Amino acid sequence: ERRELNRLRREPSRTLDGVDIKLWANAESRDDVTEAHALGAAGVGLYRTEFLFMGSSELPDEDTQFRAYRDAVIGMTGRTVTIRTLDLGADKADKTGLALRDEPNPALGLRGVRLSLAREGLLHTQLRAMARASGYGPLRALVPMVSGFEEMRTVRSALDAVLFELRSEGFEVADHVPLGAMIEVPSAAIALPDFIGLCDFLSIGTNDLVQYLLAADRTNEALGELYSPLHPAVLRVLRDVVRVANRRGKPVAVCGEIAGDPMFTPLLLALGIGELSLHPATMLEVRRAVRACDLSALRAAAPALFRARERAGIEAWLKAHSAH
Ligand code: PEP
Ligand code: MG
C-alpha cells in the first residue's frame, strides 16, 4: 500500500471525470516545505508563521522573518507560497509577551489579525519581510481571524504602503502580492460579499469556523461530537462561502484539518471546493481519494446533503459517496 501511495507522488490530483483539484500543503516548519515539494504539492497553501515566534522570548526581526519566507519561496521552485500573518494569542504557548496573559476566553480574545493590529510594528515588520521574499518567487499573504471589512481594508492598505516603501528603498518586490482572508470567523463568512472585493483569494479555516459556529471549543474533548464539521449549519456556511467566491471568480481553498482527511474529500468536492490545503503527512491519501471521485456525480448529489437535518443523515451521505 505504501508503494502504491508513493507512486502517486508524480500523479495529478485529478478526478475520474478529469477535473484537477489543487492540493496545497500546510507548512509549519522548513521540513514541511521540503516534504511538500517532494510530494508534488501545488504550492504551500498555508504557511503558519507562529513557529518563528513561539521558540524564544525574542521577536524575530525583519531579516530573520525575511530569510525564513524567502527560503520557503526558493524551496518551492516557482510554486506559490501562501504565508499567513501571525496567528498568536493567549491560546498558544507564547514566550514573546505579545499576547495578553490569562485572557478569560483566549479563543475569543486578542489573537490573529487583532493582535497584529494591536501591537505597534508587528504587522508592518511581517509584511515587509513577506514583500521582500516576494522578490524571489510567487508569494501570497493570508490574514487569519478576519471578522469583516475593516480589518481587511486596514491590512490591504498596510500591504500597499509596504510595497511602495520597499520599492522606494530599492528592494525588488513582486509587482503584485495577492492578499487573502481566512474565513474562520462566522461574521466574515456572513459579511463576505462586503469585503470579498478586497481579497484576491480566500482560505476557509474549518478548525476555527466549526468552533465558532457551534460554540464548541476545538480543544475540549468533553464536547465529543458536538465539535463536528458534519453539522448542517457548517455545510450551509461552506456552501455559501464557496458560492460567493465562485461568483466573484476568487479562488477558495479549505485549509482546516478536514482538508487532510480523505473521508471528507467527496463532501468537500460536492460543495464545489476545488482547492485543499493539508499537512504533507496525508497528501497522498487525499490525492488517492480525489482520483477516486467523480466530480459531476458528487455535484449532482450535493442537494441531498442539504436536506439532512442531523449529523446521522450527513454521515450516511458520506458513507454512500465514500471512495473506499
Ligand atoms: C483553521 O482554523 O482551520 C486553520 C487552518 O487555522 P489554525 O488551525 O492555525 O487556527
Ligand atoms: Mg484558525
35: which 3 cell numbers? 516534504
- Mutation test of ligand 1: which of 255, 261, 273, 277 has the most ligand atoms closer than 8 Å to its C-beta? 255
- Binding-site residue ranges: 48, 84, 184, 207-208, 218
Task: Mark the ranges of the chain whose per-residue pLDDT is less than 50.
Answer: none
Q: What are the residues whose beta carbon lies below 5 Å from ligand 2 (ion)?
A: 184, 205, 208
Q: Ligand 2 centroid vs 313 CA: distance in angstroms?
A: 27
Question: What's the CA gap between 204 and 305, in Å, rounded?
Answer: 19
pLDDT tens column, 58-96? 999 999 999 999 999 999 999 999 999 999 987 777 788
Q: Which amino acid is at 111?
A: R
| φ and ψ of 212, to 5 deg | -80, -35
Residue 2's pLDDT is: 84
Rounded to whole angstroms, how far apart are CA atoms 288 and 248? 30
C-alpha to C-alpha distance for 313 and 322, rounded to whole angstroms: 14
What number does the ligand 1 atom closest to the CA of 255 have?
A: 5
On the CB side of 126, CA atoms within 13 Å amount to 26
Q: How far is the CA of 200 from the CAs of 45, 175, 181, 293, in angstroms?
A: 14, 14, 8, 28
Identity of residue 239? R
**Residue 45 beta carbon below 6 angstroms from any ligand 1 atom:** no
Asked if residue 207 has its Cβ within 6 Å of ligand 1, the reply is yes
Give the torsion sign (CA, 37, 39, 43, 45).
negative
Ligand nearest to the CA of 234: 1
Q: What is the pLDDT of residue 130?
A: 98
Q: How far is the CA of 204 from the centre of ligand 2 (A)?
A: 9
Q: Which amino acid residue places its CA nearest to atom 8 of ligand 1? A: 207
Is 199 catalytic? The answer is no
Atom 1, ligand 1: residue with shortest CA distance: 205
Tell me how far the alpha carbon of residue 4 lies from the centroid of ligand 1, in angstroms: 30
pLDDT at 102: 84
Grid cell, residue 67, equals 530569510
pLDDT value of position 91: 76
Say if ligand 1 is within 6 A of residue 184 CB.
yes
Ligand nearest to the CA of 209: 1
Ligand 1: centre distance to CA 17 (Å)? 31
**Catalytic pick among 255, 259, 268, 284:** 255
220 SS3 class: coil
Ligand 1 binding pocket includes 205 (Cβ within 6 Å): yes
Ligand lying closest to the C-alpha of residue 204: 1
Whole-number Å distance, alpha carbon 11 to ligand 2 midpoint, is: 30
Mean pLDDT of the chain: 96
Q: Are 305 and 269 in contact (CB under 8 A)?
A: no
Measured from the Cα of 256, ligand 1's closest atom is: 3
pLDDT at residue number 324: 60
Radius of gyration over alpha carbons of the chain, in Å?
Answer: 19
pTM score, whole prediction: 0.97
Q: Which ligand is nearest to the CA of 207?
A: 1
d(CA 118, CA 114): 6
CB 60, CB 95: distance < 8 Å: no
Question: How close is the Cα of 115 to the center of ligand 2, in Å?
Answer: 14
